[in-house]
Amino acid sequence: MKIGEAQQSLGSPVTAPVYAGIALSASDGHTAAELLRSGELALQAAEEQETPGYGFFNPDIAQTARRRSAVQRALTEALANETFRLDFQPVYAIRTGELSGFEALLRLHDPELGNISPAEFIPVAEQMGIINRMGGWCLSEACRIASQWPAHIIVAVNLSPYQFYSGTLIGDVRQALEQSRFPSYRLEVEITEGTLLKDSELVLHQLRALRDMGVAVALDDFGTGFSSLSYLWKFPFSKLKIDRSFISALDESSSARGILRSIIKLGHGLGLSVTAEGIETTKQMSTLRELGCDLAQGFLLDRPARVTDLAAIILRNFANGLTRRQPKSAVSAAKDLAQG
């Protein structure tokens, strides 16, 4: 760079967003420390709006801050003591009814707060910078548990976008597979479309590395947010998971059926299998079967189960499979007998 260019660059105007938190004496605090704390909470609320401006303190902000602090404490303790839990929701082949696999779902229970929803604690963990360690634990635990299942049953694990940005994801996956001696073809990772937005080339590189390892990649919640056809041919997906909002719309909107038909045909046209999640009624299941959807999960089929209940689910499905195949065997035996 030339000196003149450097001077011009240094002389360029710099725009910086400005935020302010406002706390009022007496109503928001009686001491300097209380007022400063209230002002900090108001400032934090203003920054979370992501547009420059100011915010006044109100009691709701304090309540939200206390809850957030409690969730942070619960996360820190659960990570240190490894007291997170994985539940598993079964996924079934729509046409045959056979068990295809399980989706691992992270659970957090705190003695004081009770059960905390992933929708609440995952964003907090991401902002705390501990989601990578949590994600690594999920991968290892899911592979360890799934290694005890029959060889045809897969396990799916959700990934946070921050795991891609950390630079440790590929190592975490490889370590989870090696420690449990779990075959890579039985592991499926799920990402949302939002993961692809920040640094798509970085994400693409890691997804290709996962596919080269034999790990399947599913695009979760397809049809919402930032859906783009370019993602489907550019990124190495093996499966689409239709967002549950489209499934629930089958009971309310006549256009939902046409949208689902288009998504399923699109997935099949690209050589991808298609999963519908959030199925709660027989009508929804019947429609998805007619439309040619491949896989299904939802409360109609099975709720998320504890690890101790998985053996019963697997054995039940095996028994149901024998029952489904029995009539065919009987017909075949009758034909053989007649021909003999």
- 92: Cβ contacts below 8 Å, ≥ 6 apart: 98, 99, 100, 295, 296, 297, 301, 302
Confirm whether 64 is domain-assigned.
no
For the record, the structure tokens of 320 come out as 């149901």
The residue type found at 186 is R
Confirm whether 14 is domain-assigned.
no
Q: What is the CATH number of the domain that holds 111?
A: 3.20.20.450
Sorting pLDDT into bands at 50, 70 and 90, what band is 334? very low
**What are the tens digits of pLDDT across the range 285-316?**
999 999 999 999 999 999 999 999 999 999 99
pLDDT value of position 168: 92
How far apart, in whole angstroms, are the C-alpha atoms of residue 57 and residue 41? 7
- Report whether 164 contacts 192 (CB < 8 A): no
Confirm whether 250 is domain-assigned.
yes
Is 47 buried (19+), middle (13-18) or exposed (0-12) by CB count in 10 A? middle
Confirm whether 240 is domain-assigned.
yes
pLDDT value of position 24: 73
Q: Domain limits at 128?
A: 83-323
pLDDT value of position 7: 47
Confirm whether 154 is domain-assigned.
yes
Question: Could you tell me which residues are beta bridge partners of residue 306?
Answer: none
The gap between the terminal CA atoms of the chain, to the nearest Å, is 92
With a cut of 90, say whether residue 189 has pLDDT above it. yes
Confirm whether 69 is domain-assigned.
no
**Helical spans, DSSP H, in the chain:** 3-10, 32-48, 59-81, 118-128, 131-146, 161-166, 169-180, 200-213, 229-234, 244-248, 255-269, 282-291, 310-339
With a cut of 50, say whether residue 330 has pLDDT above it. no
Domains in the chain, number: 1
Confirm whether 311 is domain-assigned.
yes
Torsion sign over Cα 214, 220, 222, 224 = negative
Q: Which residue has the tokens 């034999």?
A: 214
Q: What is the pTM of this model?
A: 0.81
